[in-house]
Structure 1
Amino acid sequence: MVSFIFRRLVSGVVVLFVVSTLTFFLLYFSATSVARNILGESATQAQVQLKETELGLDQPLVSRYLSWLGGVVQGDFGVSWFTSQPVVGSILGRLPTTLSIVLATIVIAAVLATLLGVAAAVRRGWIDRLLQIVSIGASAVPQFVVAIVLVTVLAIQLRIFPATGYVPMNQDFGGWLASIALPILALAIGAVASTAQQVRSAVINVLSRDYVRTLRSRGLAPREILFRHVLRGAAPAGLTVLSLQFIGMLGGVVVIEQIFALPGMGFLALQSTTQGDMPVLMGVVVYIVIIVVIVNLLVDLAVGWLNPKARVS
């Protein structure tokens, strides 16, 4: 198990290094005049050049990258070019908003998808057909369309939930739940539908295996076979799908946060991209990759615990 964890950690570090390096060079090669964006169109060329020198943009690209990488290794991501605020502080101030939405969505999707997928695999019939129809429909509708419909119906017409805004959990727990309810629902509909379909397929596959037939022939109760053996065999497939859903949500939350005016990582990433605020954008990329690596590591550990053969694969 120790070597298994070590291999996953090493691969995670390699992924983090490769993604951050490629992102850095791609951003700087495609960047426009950031100094001009900061100073405005009325600034003179001399002022623009002075600002570029102040930001270090007159240095060779490799030197800038090594300087940035050295700071990141020490935990220093620099400061925003537009607000002069530390990048780490800006990210940590918005990270709870995004993680609360994504993690709550994943938990809801895991519970509902497992219940629906198992019911469709065991009962079959109309439940199975209905799940497949709903899965196709939910996967075909973009998340922003679902979000707009939810805002129109539940927030504007029925006034059950607030349409926009975010309330921190430490200020008002009820207000926090109300502010993230619609974003979670918008993300969860598609996640539940697609994950339930994968859970259904995994459970059907496990039910057809020889050891399940052997357990039935020995007279074990169907409930015991399902919960002690079948679900354990089908869990790795479900966990893998959920990890992919989590990664996809980190990208999809950019649009959701814009629709619901949530001060999260997605909003920060879009704002820094529009402005050309490279230190903030690189900080967001690094943090997102770290989160993805941690999630993948946890999923690999869970799969390795459920299926010991996965540890040596």
Structure 2
Amino acid sequence: MLGFIIRRLASSILLALAVAFASFALVFSNGQAIARTILGVDATDEQVAARAAELGLDRPVVAQFLDWLGAAFRGDLGTSFYSGDDVANIMTTRIPVTLALIGIAMLLTAVLSALLGIAAAVAGGWVDKVLQVLAMVGTAVPNFIVAIILVMSLAVGTGTFPATGYVSPAIDIAGWASSLVLPVIAVTAASVGPASQQFRAAVKDVLERDFVRTLRSRGMRPASIVFQHVFRNAAGPGIIILGLQIIVLMSGVVVIERVFALPGVGELTVNSALLGDIPIVMGCVLFVVVVVVIVNLVADLANAALNPKVRQR
């Protein structure tokens, strides 16, 4: 198990570095264009060149990346091109909002997809068909449409939840929870469908195995068979798809934070990209990469704990 953990950890670090470098190369490949965006279209070529040299954008991309990476390991993500504020400080105020949204959405996705997948596989018949249709609809409908429907029905229509805005838990824990209800539902709606279908397929496959028939012949209760034996054997594929769903959740967060005016990393990424504030964009990219890699690493380790065969890969 220790060897498996080391291999997965090493591959996760290499993947994070590769994605970070690819992102850095894409946004910093044209230092002149970045400098002109900062100075405006009326700036002369000499002013643009001077600004690019001042920011170090005229250096090779690899050298820039190595300097940025070394500083990032020390907690220094640079300063904003526009405000001059420290990027790490800006991210510190945004990350808790996004982590709360993603964390709750991931937990709900795991619980709901497992329960719906088990229900569809065990019950079969019309229950299975209805759940499959609901999963397909949830996957097909964009999360911003779900967000608009939620706002119109539960915020504007009834006033049950706030339509926009965010309340810090340090100020009002009830207000914090209320401000996250609709965004969490909108983000979760897109990820439950695919994950529940994966759980359904895995559970149906296990239910057809010989050991399940043996347990039934011994008179074991159906609920005990499903939750103590079938689900444990079927959990591996479900855990893998849950790890992959973090990518869906992260992409959904970018839109949902804009719709609900949440001051998170997704909203910061969009605003910074529109301005061309590259240091902040790279800070947001680094955050997303780290979250995705950590979640998938945890998923791999959980799968290995359930299935010893995985550890031999």
Q: TM-score, normalised by structure 1?
A: 0.94
Secondary structure at 1:263's aligned position in 2? coil
Gapped regions of structure 2 (runs ≥ 5): none
Question: Which whole-Å CA distance do the structure 2 matches of 1:187 and 1:255 have between them?
Answer: 9
Alignment of 1:59-74 (within 5 A): 59-74=59-74
User: Identity of paired residues, percent?
Assistant: 46
Alignment of 1:106-125 (within 5 A): 106-125=106-125
Secondary structure at 2:29's aligned position in 1? helix
Secondary structure at 2:59's aligned position in 1? coil
2:196 maps to: 196
Tell me if structure 1 keeps the 8 A contact 2:110–2:242.
yes
Alignment of 1:155-234 (within 5 A): 155-234=155-234
2:53 maps to: 53
Tell me if structure 2 keeps the 8 A contact 1:207–1:230.
yes
Tell me if structure 2 keeps the 8 A contact 1:31–1:276.
no
1:288 maps to: 288
Secondary structure at 1:136's aligned position in 2? helix
Question: Which whole-Å CA distance do the structure 1 matches of 2:300 and 2:242 have between them?
Answer: 12
Per-residue CA deviation, residues 47-76 of structure 1 (Å, 9 max, x unaligned), is: 444332221123333332232232223332
Shift of residue 144 of structure 1?
A: 1.0
1:131 maps to: 131
Question: Which whole-Å CA distance do the structure 1 matches of 2:173 and 2:232 have between them?
Answer: 35
Tell me if structure 2 keeps the 8 A contact 1:80–1:86.
yes
1:83 maps to: 83
Shift of residue 172 of structure 1?
A: 0.7
**How many residues matched?**
313
Tell me if structure 1 keeps the 8 A contact 2:135–2:194.
yes
Root mean square deviation, CA, Å: 1.8
Question: Which whole-Å CA distance do the structure 1 matches of 2:31 and 2:218 have between them?
Answer: 68
Shift of residue 32 of structure 1?
A: 6.3
Shift of residue 204 of structure 1?
A: 0.8
Per-residue CA deviation, residues 262-304 of structure 1 (Å, 9 max, x unaligned), is: 1111111112211222221112112211111111111111111
Per-residue CA deviation, residues 115-137 of structure 1 (Å, 9 max, x unaligned), is: 22212211112211100111111
2:241 maps to: 241
Shift of residue 256 of structure 1?
A: 0.7
Per-residue CA deviation, residues 17-51 of structure 1 (Å, 9 max, x unaligned), is: 11111111111236663333333445555544433
Question: Which whole-Å CA distance do the structure 1 matches of 2:244 and 2:160 have between them?
Answer: 31
Question: Which whole-Å CA distance do the structure 2 matches of 1:82 and 1:245 have between them?
Answer: 34
Shift of residue 104 of structure 1?
A: 0.6
Question: Which whole-Å CA distance do the structure 1 matches of 2:115 and 2:173 have between them?
Answer: 28
Shift of residue 79 of structure 1?
A: 1.3
Tell me if structure 2 keeps the 8 A contact 1:113–1:193.
yes
Gapped regions of structure 1 (runs ≥ 5): none
Alignment of 1:135-146 (within 5 A): 135-146=135-146
Shift of residue 229 of structure 1?
A: 0.4
2:185 partner letter: L
1:251 partner letter: S
1:236 partner letter: G
Question: Which whole-Å CA distance do the structure 1 matches of 2:124 and 2:222 have between them?
Answer: 15
1:262 maps to: 262
Tell me if structure 2 keeps the 8 A contact 1:131–1:197.
no
Shift of residue 312 of structure 1?
A: 0.8
Distance change in 2, residues 1:11/1:165 (3 Å): same
Q: Which moved more, 1:90-99 or 1:190-199?
A: 190-199
